[in-house]
Structure 1
Amino acid sequence: MTILAGVFSRGSLAQIPDSICESLRKNISRDPNDRPIEFRDTHAFLIKVDIGAFDRPAHRVAPTGSIAILAGEPLLTCHGPTGVERDAHLAYLQSKWDEGDLQALRSASGTFCAAYYNAAKGIGYLVADRLGLRTLYYCVLDDFVYFATALRILEAIPEVPKVLDILAVAEATGFGYPFGGGTAYADIKMLMPCEVLALEQGVVTASRYFNWEAIEPIRCTQEEAMSKTYGLFVSAVRRRLRSDKTTFAYLSGGLDSRCVVAALRSEGARAYTFNFSLANTQDQAFALAYAEKSGTIHHELPTEPGPNWSAVMADTWRSWPGRHQQMPEHPSLAWTGEGGSVGLGHVYISPEIVAHLRSGDMDGAIDIYLRQQSKTILTRILEPELGAQLHGHLHARLLKELREIRCADPVRAFYIFLNLNGPRRHLVNHFDTIDQHRLEFQVPFYDSELLEYLTALPADPCLYHQFYVKWLALFDPAVRAVPWQTYPGHVPSPIPIPQDLPDQWRAPASADHRTRLEHELMTRSAAMLSCENFPSCVLRKVNLQAMRWACKLGLGNYSYALKAALAYYHYWNIAGGRYQLPPAVASGRQAKLGHLD
Structure 2
Amino acid sequence: MCGIAGWIDWTKDLSEENRMLKQMTDAIRHRGPDAEGFWLDGHAALGHRRLIVIDPDGGKQPMLYKDSENDVVLTYNGEIYNYRELKEELTSLGHQFDTESDTEVLLHAYLQWQEQCVDHLNGIFAFAIWDKNKERLMLGRDHLGVKPLFYCKRGDQVIFGSEIKALFAHPDVKPELDEEGLSEVFGLGPMRTPGKAIFKDIEEVRAGHYMIFSKEDQQTKQYWKLESKEHTDDVDKTVETIQSLLEDTVSRQLISDKPLVSMLSGGLDSSGLTAMAGKEYKENGKTLSTYSIDFVNNDADFKEDFLRRDLDEPWVKKVSEYVGTDHTSVVFPAEKLVNNLLIPMKARDLPGVGEIETSLYLLFKEMKKNATVALSGESADEVFSGYPWFHQEKFLDADVFPWLLNIGGIGKVLKKEIREKLDIPAYQKKKYQDALEELPVLEGEDETEAKQRRMSYMFITRFLPFMLDRKDRASMMTGFEVRVPFCDYRLVEYLWNIPSSMKNIDDIEKGILRRAFADYLPEDVRYRRKSAYPSTKDDAYLKGVTEWMRRILDDPEAPIQSLIDAEVVRYIADGKSDMPDTSVRGLFDYLIQVNGWLEEYGIKVHI
Give TM-score, length-normalised by structure 2: 0.79
Q: How many corresponding residue pairs?
A: 546
Q: For 1:379-417, what per-residue CA distance to the aligned partner results, in whole angstroms no more than 9, with x for missing partners? A: 342343534622332122112211122323644344233
1:449 to partner: Cα distance: 1.2
Q: Which residue of 2 aligns with 1:462?
A: 503
Q: For 1:545-569, what per-residue CA distance to the aligned partner results, in whole angstroms no more than 9, with x for missing partners? A: 44444579x9998554444444443
For 2:356, give the aligned amino acid: G
Which of 371, 380, 391 is the aligned partner of 1:340?
Answer: 380
CA–CA distance in structure 1, aligned partners of residues 394 and 243 of structure 2: 26
Paired residue secondary structure (2:248)? helix
Q: Which moved more, 1:410-419 or 1:446-455?
A: 410-419
Please state if 1:517 is matched with 2:559: no
Which of 588, 595, 605 is the aligned partner of 1:569?
Answer: 595
Please state if 1:378 is matched with 2:420: no
Paired residue secondary structure (1:312)? helix
For residues 551-570 of structure 1, what are the structure 2 equivalents within 5 Å?
Answer: 558-570=584-596
Please state if 1:284 is matched with 2:322: no
1:3 to partner: Cα distance: 0.8
Task: Name the % identity.
Answer: 15
Please state if 1:194 is matched with 2:244: no
Q: For 1:117-161, what per-residue CA distance to the aligned partner results, in whole angstroms no more than 9, with x for missing partners? A: 111110111111001110111111112111111222223333202
Please state if 1:449 is matched with 2:490: yes
Q: Which moved more, 1:451-460 or 1:88-97?
A: 88-97
Q: Is contact 1:253–1:484 with CA below 8 Å preserved after alignment?
A: no
For 1:73, give the aligned amino acid: E
Q: Is contact 1:282–1:504 with CA below 8 Å preserved after alignment?
A: no
Residues 246 and 53 from structure 1, CA distance in 2 versus in 1: closer, same or farther, beyond 3 angstroms? closer
Paired residue secondary structure (1:308)? helix
CA–CA distance in structure 2, aligned partners of residues 437 and 27 of structure 1: 14
Please state if 1:70 is matched with 2:95: no
Q: For 1:496-549, what per-residue CA distance to the aligned partner results, in whole angstroms no more than 9, with x for missing partners? A: xxxxxxx6689752344443333333334433xx1175553x433443344444
Q: Is contact 2:176–2:200 with CA below 8 Å preserved after alignment?
A: yes
Give TM-score, length-normalised by structure 1: 0.80
1:318 to partner: Cα distance: 5.2
Q: Which moved more, 1:81-90 or 1:475-484?
A: 81-90
CA–CA distance in structure 2, aligned partners of residues 141 and 154 of structure 1: 11
Which of 157, 160, 181 is the aligned partner of 2:195?
Answer: 181
1:317 to partner: Cα distance: 3.3
CA–CA distance in structure 1, aligned partners of residues 45 and 428 of structure 2: 39
Which of 288, 294, 303 is the aligned partner of 2:323?
Answer: 294
Q: Which residue of 2 aligns with 1:327?
A: none
1:27 to partner: Cα distance: 2.0
Please state if 1:404 is matched with 2:407: no
Residues 559 and 169 from structure 1, CA distance in 2 versus in 1: closer, same or farther, beyond 3 angstroms? farther
1:209 to partner: Cα distance: 1.3
Q: For 1:475-510, what per-residue CA distance to the aligned partner results, in whole angstroms no more than 9, with x for missing partners? A: 3556134447855xx6xxxxxxxxxxxx66897523
For residues 489-568 of structure 1, what are the structure 2 equivalents within 5 Å?
Answer: 509-527=537-555, 530-531=556-557, 536=562, 538-550=563-575, 558-568=584-594
Q: Which residue of 2 aligns with 1:589?
A: none
Q: Which runs of 5+ in 2 are unaligned?
A: 91-96, 300-309, 334-354
Q: For 1:437-461, what per-residue CA distance to the aligned partner results, in whole angstroms no more than 9, with x for missing partners? A: 1110121111111111111222343
Which of 224, 229, 241 is the aligned partner of 2:237?
Answer: 224
Residues 565 and 383 from structure 1, CA distance in 2 versus in 1: closer, same or farther, beyond 3 angstroms? farther
Residues 555 and 541 from structure 1, CA distance in 2 versus in 1: closer, same or farther, beyond 3 angstroms? same
1:232 to partner: Cα distance: 0.5
1:283 to partner: Cα distance: 0.3
Which of 152, 170, 180 is the aligned partner of 1:157?
Answer: 170
1:252 to partner: Cα distance: 0.6
Q: Which residue of 1 aligns with 2:342?
A: none
Q: For 1:221-243, what per-residue CA distance to the aligned partner results, in whole angstroms no more than 9, with x for missing partners? A: 11111110110011100111248
Q: Which residue of 2 aligns with 1:148?
A: 161
Residues 431 and 560 from structure 1, CA distance in 2 versus in 1: closer, same or farther, beyond 3 angstroms? closer
CA–CA distance in structure 1, aligned partners of residues 161 and 395 of structure 2: 42
1:15 to partner: Cα distance: 7.9
Q: Which residue of 2 aligns with 1:126?
A: 139
CA RMSD of aligned residues (A): 3.7
Residues 453 and 397 from structure 1, CA distance in 2 versus in 1: closer, same or farther, beyond 3 angstroms? same
Q: Which residue of 2 aligns with 1:360?
A: none
Q: Which runs of 5+ in 1 are unaligned?
A: 324-330, 357-363, 491-502, 582-597
For 1:342, give the aligned amino acid: E
Residues 17 and 348 from structure 1, CA distance in 2 versus in 1: closer, same or farther, beyond 3 angstroms? farther
Q: Is contact 1:168–1:179 with CA below 8 Å preserved after alignment?
A: no
CA–CA distance in structure 2, aligned partners of residues 52 and 456 of structure 1: 37
Residues 474 and 17 from structure 1, CA distance in 2 versus in 1: closer, same or farther, beyond 3 angstroms? closer
Q: Which residue of 2 aligns with 1:24?
A: 24
Q: Is contact 1:289–1:482 with CA below 8 Å preserved after alignment?
A: no
Which of 173, 182, 204 is the aligned partner of 2:218?
Answer: 204
CA–CA distance in structure 1, aligned partners of residues 585 and 365 of structure 2: 29
Residues 506 and 420 from structure 1, CA distance in 2 versus in 1: closer, same or farther, beyond 3 angstroms? closer
Q: For 1:259-300, what per-residue CA distance to the aligned partner results, in whole angstroms no more than 9, with x for missing partners? A: 110111232442111111234362011100111112111121
Residues 555 and 262 from structure 1, CA distance in 2 versus in 1: closer, same or farther, beyond 3 angstroms? closer
CA–CA distance in structure 2, aligned partners of residues 353 and 12 of structure 1: 58
For 1:68, give the aligned amino acid: L
Q: Is contact 1:138–1:189 with CA below 8 Å preserved after alignment?
A: yes
1:435 to partner: Cα distance: 5.3
1:167 to partner: Cα distance: 3.2
Q: Is contact 1:539–1:565 with CA below 8 Å preserved after alignment?
A: no
Residues 520 and 347 from structure 1, CA distance in 2 versus in 1: closer, same or farther, beyond 3 angstroms? same
CA–CA distance in structure 1, aligned partners of residues 231 and 201 of structure 2: 41
1:572 to partner: Cα distance: 3.7
1:19 to partner: Cα distance: 6.0
Q: Which moved more, 1:161-170 or 1:84-93?
A: 84-93
For 1:316, give the aligned amino acid: E
Residues 427 and 436 from structure 1, CA distance in 2 versus in 1: closer, same or farther, beyond 3 angstroms? same
Please state if 1:239 is matched with 2:252: yes
Q: Is contact 2:268–2:525 with CA below 8 Å preserved after alignment?
A: no
Q: Is contact 1:11–1:202 with CA below 8 Å preserved after alignment?
A: no
Q: Which residue of 2 aligns with 1:475?
A: 517
Q: Is contact 2:2–2:31 with CA below 8 Å preserved after alignment?
A: no
Q: Which residue of 2 aligns with 1:313?
A: 363
Q: Is contact 1:140–1:187 with CA below 8 Å preserved after alignment?
A: yes
CA–CA distance in structure 2, aligned partners of residues 41 and 458 of structure 1: 53
For 1:114, give the aligned amino acid: F
Q: Which residue of 1 aligns with 2:262?
A: 249
1:67 to partner: Cα distance: 0.7
For 2:315, give the aligned amino acid: F
Q: Which residue of 2 aligns with 1:3?
A: 3
Residues 505 and 188 from structure 1, CA distance in 2 versus in 1: closer, same or farther, beyond 3 angstroms? closer
For 1:509, give the aligned amino acid: K
